[in-house]
Structure 1
Amino acid sequence: MNNTEIVSEEDVKRYDILNKQKKELEQEMNRLKKKFHTYLDEELGKDKAGEISRGHYELKRQIRSSIAYETDLTIKKLEEANLQDFVLIEKKPDTEKLEAAIKLGLVEKEMFEECKKIKSTQAIVVKEV
């Protein structure tokens, strides 16, 4: 253990305390945000940008919007309008079938080893024992 720091019980305990505080803070912030949005909806109108001042603080609401098309209906209408060029055809491997074929021995596993990407994530979970 050359450059590795020692993880003490106090470190783990502090992490656990901070994690609980984080959850409580997020809940309170969400409650306040909901309160602000409700107030601004009543004062300015739903989905309207604006600001209010309280003492030394200014609260601003920004409205961000994005456009998304419902896939199936849009494709149907594009095809009806003879606009197939506006429809993307996406080639994707059927990984479930590939994995099943490998398990059944119909496809050699080695042939696709270089194609595989394994994604992993790390998580810390602390509980008092």
Structure 2
Amino acid sequence: MNTDNLLLTEDMLARYYDLNKLKKEIEAEMNQLKVSFHTHMDKYTGPNKKGEFIEGDYKLLRQIRKTERFKEKDTVEKLEQLQMDDLIQIVKKPDDGKVKAAIELGLLAEEDLEECLAISYSQAISVRKI
């Protein structure tokens, strides 16, 4: 993208500000409606049940996604009690706090881990009215 001819105007900033404000209002209203829809569906189809509701030209569909995960601490303890250690995964990962402390104390040179450091950036835009 050629930024040489890029011009930011007060109108553009004002439009972004207004749209962002409107977006937040819309999201809040949609969230309120979703709560009403889920309450209705819980009452008529049951909690955590899929269903549909038709009113006029509109159809409301509720889908339910079920996710199951083992609670790590409890599962590991139970597997150890059952002597099923082969089912326990041992994960080696660096302790960021300890590594940084070792660098600060001079026990480890920052350059030693330079190629191991992953740096990521994220961008955010904020426009405020002053």
TM-score interval, smaller chain: over 0.9
What's 1:103 paired with?
104
Residues matched between the structures, number: 129
CA distance in 2, matches of 1:73, 1:120: 36
What's 2:48 paired with?
47
1:102 Cα offset (Å): 1.2
What's 1:38 paired with?
39
The TM-score with structure 2 as length reference comes to 0.94
1:86 Cα offset (Å): 0.7
What's the C-alpha RMSD, in Å, of the aligned pairs? Answer: 1.3
CA distance in 2, matches of 1:2, 1:18: 24
Match of 1:52, SS state, is strand
1:64 Cα offset (Å): 0.5
Q: Give runs of aligned pairs for residues 1-129 of structure 1, distance below 5 A.
A: 3-129=4-130
Match of 2:28, SS state, is helix
Match of 1:48, SS state, is coil
CA distance in 1, matches of 2:39, 2:14: 38
1:104 Cα offset (Å): 1.8
Structure 2 residue runs of 5 or longer lacking an equivalent are none
CA distance in 1, matches of 2:86, 2:3: 61
Structure 1 letter corresponding to 2:43: E
CA distance in 2, matches of 1:74, 1:59: 39
1:58-114 CA deviation, whole Å, 9 max, x = no partner? 110001101011111111111111111111000001121111111221111111111
